[in-house]
């Protein structure tokens, strides 16, 4: 990955169009916004920290659960928009390993919404050629949820249009610890030599395996922190923070984040394209 080649966003949209039936009007809008030379096209992997459900509800005098319910509508809109825009992988931080510390009633509401989402939307996701994958620690996942998550993964395993990754009972530090433990076990069992552990073999033991790292991480609702999300995988991600509360997030908000991303220069610790040309 060099990330430094300069290309017009419209060019990469056209390529995506051939591959995944991209929504032409959306492509035109994004291209029109950026009808200049831009460093990046459509990010292959977008990850979102969906924040602000509670504040959205509070500002309307509604219970927090109403914010979470409307948050699920935003999930539906965003999955659809990601497919239309040619985003290959969309990762959503649905429930962190720390969220269990919320009041019992809120945890129960969130579990109910996730179950309802899988039961109600799985068939449509499958029809839309969306592959569902889950990351997070599967130990201690309630027994009425785990089979649903497994069924979603099994049913959609061959789908190719968009990959929807749901981070459930997920924590970045926990992901790293479980990967370290898995590698330590392999060393102890003589399956691998400790000298051969490198960044690639370590990453392969994370929940995300050999998937592409997120190109863009979006966080809604004005907070500017990672909150234990994809700590390893975010090493070279671009960040876009928006004040929009998650329940209000929609295709336009996603397009705005993509337009911001398109302007960023990704250097991966090297020199930018201009400096490289000067050095050459
Ligand atoms: C953050 O808002 C949001 C969450 C902790 C949960 C996100 C869950 C959903 C949108 C619903 C279920 C997900 C799927 C994939 C169906 P917050 O409660 O922390 O908001 P606040 O910071 O304003 O209080």
Among protein residues, the one with the nearest Cα to ligand 1's atom 6 is 94
Task: Per-residue pLDDT tens, the chain, 280 aa: give them.
Answer: 333 333 333 333 333 333 444 444 444 445 444 454 567 899 999 999 999 999 999 999 999 999 999 999 999 999 999 999 999 999 999 999 999 999 999 999 999 999 999 999 999 999 999 999 999 999 989 999 999 999 999 999 999 999 999 999 999 999 999 999 999 999 999 999 999 999 999 999 999 999 999 999 999 999 999 999 999 999 999 999 999 999 999 999 999 999 999 999 888 888 777 677 667 6
Specify the pLDDT at position 234: 98
Specify the pLDDT at position 38: 67
Atom of ligand 1 nearest to the CA of 113: 12
Is 117 touching ligand 1 by the criterion CB < 6 Å? yes
Residue 30, CA distances (Å) to 10, 51, 79 in order: 8, 25, 18
Q: Which of 68, 69, 92, 169 to mutate to test the pocket of ligand 1 (most atoms within 8 A of CB)?
A: 68
Q: How far is the CA of 186 from the centre of ligand 1 (A)?
A: 36
Helix boundaries (H) for 6-59? 9-20, 24-33, 53-58
- pTM of the complete model: 0.86
Specify the pLDDT at position 19: 40
Is 54 touching ligand 1 by the criterion CB < 6 Å? yes
Rounded to an integer, what distance in angstroms lies between the CA atom of residue 64 and that of residue 61?
9
Active-site residue list: 51, 99
Contacts within 8 Å (CB) and 24+ apart, 21-28: 21/161, 22/84, 22/85, 22/86, 23/84, 23/85, 26/81, 26/84, 26/85, 26/251, 26/255, 27/85, 27/86
Rounded to an integer, what distance in angstroms lies between the CA atom of residue 85 and that of residue 26?
7
Is 51 touching ligand 1 by the criterion CB < 6 Å? yes
Longest Cα separation, the chain? 61
Radius of gyration, CA atoms only, the chain:
20
Specify the pLDDT at position 271: 79
> H/E element holding 45?
strand 45-49
| Cβ contact 134:166 at 8 Å | yes
Rounded to an integer, what distance in angstroms lies between the CA atom of residue 77 and that of residue 251?
7
Specify the pLDDT at position 39: 77
Is 114 touching ligand 1 by the criterion CB < 6 Å? yes
- Closest by alpha carbon to 29, among 267, 261, 262, 259? 259
- What are the structural domains of the chain? 44-263 (3.40.1180.10)
Q: What is the DSSP letter of 192?
A: S
Q: How far is the CA of 87 from the centre of ligand 1 (A)?
A: 22
């Amino acid at each position: 990955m060099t990330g430094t080649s300069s290309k017009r966003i419209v060019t990469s949209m056209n390529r995506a169009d051939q591959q995944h039936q991209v929504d032409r009007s959306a492509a035109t809008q994004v291209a029109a916004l950026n009808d200049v030379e831009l460093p990046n096209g459509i990010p292959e992997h977008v990850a979102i920290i969906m924040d602000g459900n509670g504040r959205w509800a509070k500002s309307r005098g509604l219970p927090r659960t109403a914010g979470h319910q409307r948050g699920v509508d935003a999930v539906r809109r965003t999955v659809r928009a990601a497919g239309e825009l040619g985003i290959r992988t969309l990762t959503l931080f649905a429930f962190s390993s720390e969220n269990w510390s919320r009041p019992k009633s809120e945890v129960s509401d969130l579990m109910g919404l996730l179950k309802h989402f899988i039961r109600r939307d799985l068939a449509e996701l499958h029809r839309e050629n969306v592959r569902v994958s889950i990351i997070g620690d599967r130990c201690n996942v309630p027994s009425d949820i785990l089979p649903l998550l497994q069924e979603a993964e099994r049913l959609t395993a061959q789908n190719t249009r968009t990959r929807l990754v749901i981070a459930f009972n997920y924590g970045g530090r926990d992901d790293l610890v479980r990967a370290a433990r898995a590698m330590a076990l392999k060393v102890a069992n003589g399956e691998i030599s400790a000298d051969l552990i490198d960044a690639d073999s370590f990453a392969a033991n994370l929940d995300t395996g050999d998937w592409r790292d997120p190109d863009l991480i979006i966080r809604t609702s004005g907070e500017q922190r990672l909150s234990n999300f994809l700590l390893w995988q975010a090493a070279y991600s671009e960040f876009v923070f928006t004040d929009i509360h998650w329940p209000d997030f929609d295709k336009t908000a996603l397009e705005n984040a993509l337009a911001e991303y398109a302007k960023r220069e990704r250097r991966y610790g090297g020199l930018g394209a201009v400096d490289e040309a000067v050095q050459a």
